[in-house]
Amino acid sequence: MTKPIVAIPCDFRQFEGSNWHAVPHQYVRAAVEGAGAMALLVPALEDGNDAEALLDRVDGLLVSGARSNVHPSLYGREASEQDGPFDPARDATSLPLIRAALKRGMPVLAICRGIQELNVALGGSLANDIQDQPGIWDHRHPEHPDSDVKYAIRQSVSVKEGSCLARVLGAGEIQVNSLHRQAISKLAPSLAVEALADDGTVEAVSVIDAKGFAVGVQWHPEYWVGTDSPSGQIFSAFGEALNAYVAGRKQASISA
């Protein structure tokens, strides 16, 4: 079987005085090694991308984490400097792709910033600097030069009984590497909570009545996809959904 192709929206970044369209390697590696897919990086453009034309050519959408935050204007709030940094080109690229992919029933896996984009794309809102709220833990990563230390698995989340993730991981407590200072505030009407941290922070969601696999996680399964069982299981389930989507498209083409 031909490998499925996964679209990954880029960030718009500056390196050494030049503008770049960039995706951290850990997401590309996880798509290839964990989901058995090929990765197609989508340039981050405020204007000029055609979500429908792009999705005609791929089989799934992987929405990665990033250093930037979704702009508050997209969920009805005024932006302050504290809410940044922002990446309007990433917002303009990812949100239309998410909506269009879900409408098609295309597999979607949204990670970290991705789960926040998923929530905003479907009408939800975000909370900033959640560590300053009463009773909420500090979910930010430690300041350390070693990425393995930053992305260490150190937090418990509880996967809900009967959820989409429970079918993949089993219900109950798992250990994850959740690293963030923003989180879901108002849950989008079409999303269901899949997992919670002990402090009540939403750590995973799924799209209600989705035609296919459509899950967002606040943690980083891509980083330890080859060595951590839950991380590997998430990407394996995503890969299975991608292959099923490819098979369905082929069957529809034959029937037509």
Q: Is the dihedral of CA 41, 43, 46, 50 positive or negative?
A: negative
Active site residue 21: no
Candidate list 71, 112, 164, 203, residue with the active-site label: 112
* Residues 32-49 as b or e (16 or more Cβ within 10 Å = b): bebbbbebbbbebeeeeb
Quick one: DSSP state of residue 130? G
Using CA atoms, how far apart are residues 174 and 164, in angstroms rounded to an integer? 15
Judge whether 170 and 194 are in contact, CB under 8 Å. no
Candidate list 139, 141, 180, 220, residue with the active-site label: 220
Q: Which helix (H) or strand (E) holds 119?
A: helix 113-121
pLDDT at 137: 62
pLDDT at 180: 80
Active site residue 139: no
Each residue's pLDDT, cut to its tens digit, for the chain (256 residues) gives 689 999 999 999 999 999 999 999 999 999 999 999 999 999 999 999 999 999 999 999 999 999 899 999 999 999 887 888 999 999 999 999 999 999 999 999 999 999 999 999 999 999 987 766 776 766 666 777 789 999 999 999 999 999 999 999 999 999 999 888 889 999 999 999 999 999 899 999 999 999 999 999 999 999 999 999 999 999 999 999 999 999 998 888 787 6
pLDDT at 254: 82
pLDDT at 79: 87
pLDDT at 81: 78
CATH of domain 5-255: 3.40.50.880
pLDDT at 1: 64
pLDDT at 85: 92
Which phi and psi (to 5°) does residue 161 adopt?
A: -60, 135
Residue that has been written with the tokens 């230390």 in this structure: 149
Active site residue 10: no
